[in-house]
Amino acid sequence: MNGASWLEEFALPLARGGPVRVRGPVNARALKSLVAVDLQESEAGRRLADARHQTVRGLWSSAPEPILDEDSLRLLAAVQNLLFLGHPSADSTFVRDSTLHKLIEFSCQLAALPDPTSKDELAARHSLLLHLFDLEREDVTVRFWAGSLQLKGESTPKKPYLFAKLRRVREERNRVKVSAEVAQDPDARTLLAAIVKASPLTGLLWSESLEPFFDLSSAKWLRDPDVARAVVEHFSSAGIEKIGAPLSEAALALLNGARPGADTALAFVCHLHLIEVLASQPKLPRALLAEQDSLRDFFALFAAAARLGRHRPSDVTPPLSKVIDDYAVACERASAQGRVDQIADLVRAGISAKEEGK
């Protein structure tokens, strides 16, 4: 495998955006050849480093330039193998199911990286996957009087279009989210989940494409001010209308099992509520619910936290404290009957479990 070409055609557009070329899977031998060469100093490697540095500095300005180390190459190889599963070659009759299962198993091992040791390593991994959930493929179906031809992201041959009027040729084009299509297969979905787990910041930065894999199991990173600020800015740009429901669902999943990070997840949800309260023109809960009923648990979480005195910093003084407390009352009134009681019990149990474990 030519490492420089691989970076140019695959890794660079994955990090910077643009058409990604997947020629085939990366096996153990190919990965070993990539690790053995200093790709960081190649021309493609420098462009990749610049693109990644731009991404991480957009998260926090002090982030250093990421290094293309072995962990980075393992993660990139796992992504390439994931995308290969959606490639026409993977559907070939010459590719056995057992071969694909072995590829997925190997790729999951590649993605099983140690947890990041710093926020800069956290950002560096995310910089490789920046556009993974944006990738689309254009599929073309060519229909004619004698049958049809389906092309998945492939160049359209000229032959089917010969004598188009006589053969009644029709063309249909459809753009497909590659991650969504690949995730329809249970085994491939497992691999995609492993890739997201290897990059906790990617998992925290919700998007509609990422939603099936969004959770707050990495909420511990939100205790870092720079990470929290980056995630808050991302959520604010998405809007409470979109992020409220998946965020509350993820927080409740942690609270329901009293899992590590549950208290941080709750504090983060409350922080987003406080940002909404302090907005120049905040929308009251009932107004938002009129637009989207799925936000009920988002407001019920804040109301439950308020019952336990965990909805705002204790040093907030009037008149701001009254504004926040009035908002909490509005959240409770907007919530489903009895739901705040249920969530308050979850929060209370989660806090007690954490304190007992100290």
Return the bridge partners of 144, or none: 147
Taking 50 as the threshold, does the pLDDT of residue 231 lie above it? yes
Q: Are residues 221 and 204 in contact, defined by beta-carbon separation less than 8 angstroms?
A: yes
CA distance 231 to 138: 31
Q: Which residues of 280-302 are buried (b: 16+ CB within 10 A; e: fewer)?
A: eebebbeebbeeeeebbbbbbbb
| Residue-level pLDDT at 93 | 41
- The model's pLDDT over 276-312, given as tens digits with 9 standing for 90+, comes to 898 877 777 887 887 788 899 999 999 999 999 999 9
Q: Are residues 206 and 236 in contact, defined by beta-carbon separation less than 8 angstroms?
A: no
Place of tokens 């955006």: 17
| Residue-level pLDDT at 176 | 80
With cut-offs at 50, 70 and 90, classify the pLDDT of residue 212.
confident
- Is residue 225 packed enough to be buried (19+ CB in 10 Å), middle (13-18) or exposed (0-12)? exposed
Structure tokens, 111: 């993605």
Residue closest to 102 by CA, chosen among 191, 184, 2: 191
Q: Are residues 133 and 94 in contact, defined by beta-carbon separation less than 8 angstroms?
A: no
Coil/strand/helix, residue 312: coil
DSSP codes of every residue in 276-295: HHHSSSPPPHHHHHHH-GGG
Question: Mean pLDDT, the chain, as a whole number?
Answer: 87
Q: For residue 80, which amino acid is it? A: Q
CA distance 164 to 186: 40
Q: Are residues 220 and 237 in contact, defined by beta-carbon separation less than 8 angstroms?
A: no
Structure tokens, 62: 């002090």
- The model's pLDDT over 102-136, given as tens digits with 9 standing for 90+, comes to 999 999 999 999 999 999 999 999 999 999 998 88
DSSP conformation class of 11: I
Taking 60 as the threshold, does the pLDDT of residue 94 lie above it? no
State pTM to two decimals.
0.86
CA distance 79 to 133: 11
Return the bridge partners of 137, or none: 176
